[in-house]
């Protein structure tokens, strides 16, 4: 083979990979381009850890061993029996992290599910029917923005006593307006589309139009809002737990753990740092997955991968 032909061969193999080149490496690279592999893997690991907490956790989450108080994490080379260290009452941070992720993810998922369904429904109704219905729902959204959710949670917790259901309810109350607003805006633009008018011409009922044309159209927006709001929910839950109206104290939650560790941040950084890292990874993964989902759900973008 002469030198002159070599670059051409190289260029060809770069644009159309030959059989020899299309090995496992190419498949893996393609997968990385197509799917958010890192985010999905991370989230799966965290979710798996949360679900399998009772089996994976080396120590109980709610009972401490005072002799292990502020034990340094073994992961940074300390001579310790605690992988991620222990907190101020000697509870294993790793075990609490697993249980905490369970609680936090449950709260986040529950909140997003409730707020997402309620917000989507109200946004859909608001955008589709318009008029006084729209006016009423949107004023409700405005009113929600004027209510400090934390204060409301405090008042309700004092009146009713803190509970899991109350936490979900209050968080959902704070989250649904974001969904309602976005879905309403999307519905307003979709209902004017020619294909919606043509569905009407074909005799489609309002239910059918909403279900077949509007809802699939707003679905990607809902998914993106949902993944972005998860972070807010986890943080809000942390704030409420810190104030004592979130997850009741002995039960670990990621936010509660950060709050617990804040007093000892200079002596025992690991108490707050690891749940903080966990929150950051969960939120970041969800944002990437949300972006990917939005592109996937749009058939016009599906082929541009």
Partner 1 sequence: MAELGTTDDVALRVAGSAADLDPIIQVRHLRKWYPVQQGFGFAPPSHLKAVDDVSFDVAPGRTFGIVGESGCGKTTILKLFLQLEAPTAGQIIFEGEDIARMTAAGRRRFRRSVQAVFQDPWASLNPRMRVADIVGEPLEIAGTMSRRQVRARVAEVLTEVGLNAYQANLYPHEFSGGQRQRIGIARALVLGPKVIALDEPVSALDVSIRAQILNLLVDLQKQRDLAYLMVSHDLATVRYMCHDMAVMYLGVVQEAGRVRAIFDKPMHLYTEALMSAALPAHPGLVRDEILLPGEVVSPIDPPAGDVFMTRTPLPVDPNNRWAKERPPLVEKEPDHWVVETPWSLTSSRSGSLSG
- Does 9 participate in binding partner 1 (rule CB under 8 A)? no
Whether 178 and 225 have beta carbons less than 8 Å apart is answered as yes
Q: Which of 199, 224, 235, 287 binds partner 1 (CB under 8 A)?
A: 199
Residue 21 interacts with partner 1 (CB under 8 A)?
no
Longest Cα–Cα distance in the chain: 87
Least distance from C-beta 132 to partner 1, angstroms?
16
Instruction: Mark the segment that binds partner 1 (CB under 8 A) among 114-122, 171-179, 205-213, 256-264.
Output: 205-213
How far, in Å, CA of 218 to CA of 123, rounded? Answer: 10
- Considering only CA atoms, which of 291, 305, 302 is closest in space to residue 40? 291
Compute, in degrees rounded to 10, the torsion defined by CA atoms 48, 53, 55, 56: 80
Among 119, 174, 217, 290, binds partner 1 (CB under 8 A): 217
Cα distance between the two ends of the chain: 35
What is the SS3 string spanning 281-292? HHHHHHHHHHHH
Among 200, 242, 276, 284, contact with partner 1 (rule: CB under 8 A): 200
Q: Which of 208, 250, 262, 263 binds partner 1 (CB under 8 A)?
A: 208
Which residue stretch of 7-15, 114-122, 180-188, 195-203 sits at the interface with partner 1 (rule: CB under 8 A)?
195-203
- In angstroms, give the least distance from the CB of 183 to partner 1: 16
Sequence-ordered list of residues with C-beta below 8 angstroms from that of 55, at least 6 positions apart, any chain: none
Residue by residue, DSSP assigns 44-95 as: HHHHHHHHTHHHH-SS-SS---GGGTTPPPGGGT-S-S-TT-B-TT--BHHH
Smallest distance from the beta carbon of 302 to partner 1, in angstroms?
8
Task: Give the residue, chosen from 3, 202, 207, 266, that forms a contact with partner 1 under the rule CB under 8 A.
Answer: 202
3 binds partner 1 (CB under 8 A): no
Specify the residue, 27 or 193, whose C-beta has the smaller distance to partner 1.
193
- Give yes or no for residue 82 binding partner 1 (CB under 8 A): no
Q: Which stretch binds partner 1 (CB under 8 A): 42-50, 63-71, 245-253, 292-300?
A: 292-300
Give, for 275, the enclosing helix (H) or strand (E): helix 270-297
Give residues 128-167 in contact with partner 1 (rule: CB under 8 A): none
Q: Toward partner 1, which CB reaches closer, 32 or 195?
A: 195
- Which residues lie closer than 8 Å to 248 by C-beta, 6 or more apart? 162, 163
204 lies in the site for partner 1, by CB under 8 A: yes
| Element (DSSP H or E) covering residue 188 | helix 164-191
| DSSP state at residue 264 | G
- Which CB sits closer to partner 1, 161 or 216? 216
- Under rule CB under 8 A, residue 305 binds partner 1: no
The region of 166-174, 254-262, 277-285, 296-304 touching partner 1 under the rule CB under 8 A is 296-304
Binding residues vs partner 1 (CB under 8 A): 193-195, 197-204, 208, 212-213, 216-217, 298-300
């Amino acid at each position: 083979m002469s030198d002159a032909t070599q670059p051409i061969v190289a260029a060809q193999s770069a644009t159309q990979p030959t059989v020899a080149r299309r090995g496992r490496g190419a498949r893996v690279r393609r997968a990385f381009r197509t799917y958010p592999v890192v985010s999905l893997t991370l989230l799966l690991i965290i979710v798996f850890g949360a679900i399998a907490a009772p089996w994976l956790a080396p120590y109980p989450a709610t009972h401490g061993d005072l002799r292990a108080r502020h034990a340094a994490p073994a992961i940074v080379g300390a001579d310790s029996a605690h992988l991620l260290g222990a907190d101020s009452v000697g509870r294993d941070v790793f075990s609490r992290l697993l249980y905490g992720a369970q609680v936090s993810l449950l709260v986040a998922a529950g909140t997003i599910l409730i707020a997402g369904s309620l917000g989507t429904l109200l946004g859909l109704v608001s955008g589709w029917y318009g008029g006084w219905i729209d006016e009423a729902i949107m004023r409700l959204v405005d009113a929600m923005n004027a209510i400090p959710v934390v204060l409301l949670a405090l008042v309700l917790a004092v009146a009713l006593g803190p509970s899991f259901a109350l936490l979900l309810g209050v968080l959902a109350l704070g989250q649904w307006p974001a969904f309602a607003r976005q879905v309403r805006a999307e519905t307003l633009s979709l209902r004017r589309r020619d294909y919606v008018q043509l569905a009407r011409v074909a005799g489609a009922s309002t239910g059918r139009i909403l279900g077949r044309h509007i809802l699939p159209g707003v679905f990607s927006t809902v998914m993106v809002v949902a993944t972005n709001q998860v972070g807010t929910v986890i943080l809000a839950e942390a704030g409420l737990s810190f104030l004592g109206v979130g997850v009741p104290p002995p039960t670990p939650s990621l936010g509660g753990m950060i709050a617990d560790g804040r007093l000892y941040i200079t002596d025992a950084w690991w108490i707050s740092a690891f749940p903080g890292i966990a929150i950051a990874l969960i939120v970041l993964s969800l944002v990437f997955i949300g972006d990917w989902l939005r592109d996937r759900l749009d058939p016009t973008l599906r082929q541009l991968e």
